[in-house]
Amino acid sequence: MNNSGISGDPQQMPKGSKSRISGIWWGAGLVFVGIIFLLQNIGALNQHFNWWAIFIFIPALSAFSGAGIAYERSGRIDAAVRSAVGGGLIILTVALMFLINLNWGLWWPLMVIMPGFAIFINGFPDKQSGDAFRGLIGFSVWCGAAMMLLGATFLANNLKLINLETLFGTFRWWGIFILIPGVGAIINGLVVFLKGGNRLTWASQALLMLGLVITAVAALVLLGLDWNLLGPIIVIAIGVGFLTSYLAHR
């Protein structure tokens, strides 16, 4: 018997729930805006306070509202939720930097850290994803981690917590953060290879070749080698990939 009032699709969500979630976020946003204007009117905020930056919060609230709706729909923190949260955090960071008039010359590493965090949290695929997809998406974890560490290093240097010039001298330290995703791609490629019954699939092959190329770039940076070597190295890595693919399927 078909009951028109009941949906059998778990992805469907009552309009009332969507309205409730949106109302919570927008209500909280209006309270925040009201408090900001109140503090400005009573003179509690300094003259460098950029009240107009409040309007940058609007897309951030929209993103967080979308994340809440996506969570209510699926009942889990899936890719849609993580993407919305990551995007919202990036916009929120920009809004806060303008709002309290932070020195962009000092705090710009936040714009490396927050996108890195957004990429990082999107590197955890859903449990129902296949091994190949999980391996490819998992590469984002390494990229995001490298970006967050790089941004944190620059921020620590800007805040005088460390001195990169004294600490590393002429060593090309930033190559380490290029090396991280390269190693991650190789590790993920090996994991996909092993989980695939020791078969070299397109996913494992792509990850291994990508890892070799990125690792080669990191080696060029760290060792200070001639960048003209990069082209031949990439060609060699691709050739190795084709050879291993051919030998594995013989």
Task: Tell me what pLDDT residue 118 has.
Answer: 94
How far is 73 from 10, CA to CA, in rounded Å? 7
- Digitized pLDDT (tens) for each residue of the chain, 250 residues in all: 444 444 444 445 555 555 566 666 667 767 777 777 676 667 656 666 677 787 888 888 888 888 888 888 888 888 888 999 999 999 999 988 888 888 899 999 999 999 999 999 988 877 766 666 777 788 899 999 999 999 999 999 999 999 999 999 889 999 999 999 999 999 988 888 888 776 777 788 888 888 988 998 999 999 888 888 888 888 887 777 677 666 555 5
- Please state, in angstroms and as integers, the Cα–Cα distance from residue 193 to each residue in 20, 127, 190, following that order: 46, 18, 5
Q: Which two structure tokens, joined as six digits, stand for 107?
A: 């705090």
Task: Tell me what pLDDT residue 3 has.
Answer: 47
* Dihedral of alpha carbons 104, 106, 111, 117, sign: negative
Encoded amino acid at 169, one letter: G
Q: What b/e readout covers 24-44, taking b as 16+ CB neighbours within 10 angstroms? A: ebeeebeeebeebeeeeeeee
The answer to whether the CB of 55 falls within 8 A of the CB of 17 is no
Task: Tell me what pLDDT residue 5 has.
Answer: 43
Task: Tell me what pLDDT residue 4 has.
Answer: 43
Q: Give the residue from 233, 227, 243 showing the smallest Cα distance to 211.
A: 233
Task: Tell me what pLDDT residue 22 has.
Answer: 60
Q: Which two structure tokens, joined as six digits, stand for 126?
A: 């859903």
Token pair 């490298």 is at which residue?
146
Q: Which two structure tokens, joined as six digits, stand for 96?
A: 């806060």
Task: Tell me what pLDDT residue 233 has.
Answer: 80
How far is 230 from 216, CA to CA, in rounded Å? 7
How far is 149 from 17, CA to CA, in rounded Å? 38
The answer to whether the CB of 200 falls within 8 A of the CB of 246 is no
Token pair 């929120």 is at which residue?
92
How far is 6 from 26, CA to CA, in rounded Å? 29
Task: Tell me what pLDDT residue 50 has.
Answer: 77
157-165 — which CB contacts under 8 Å span 24+ positions? 158/106, 158/107, 158/109, 159/106
Token pair 């806060």 is at which residue?
96
How far is 146 from 152, CA to CA, in rounded Å? 10
Encoded amino acid at 17, one letter: S
> What pTM does this model have?
0.78
Encoded amino acid at 147, one letter: M
Residue 223, number of CB atoms within 10 A of its CB: 11
How far is 110 from 61, CA to CA, in rounded Å? 20
Task: Tell me what pLDDT residue 26 has.
Answer: 66
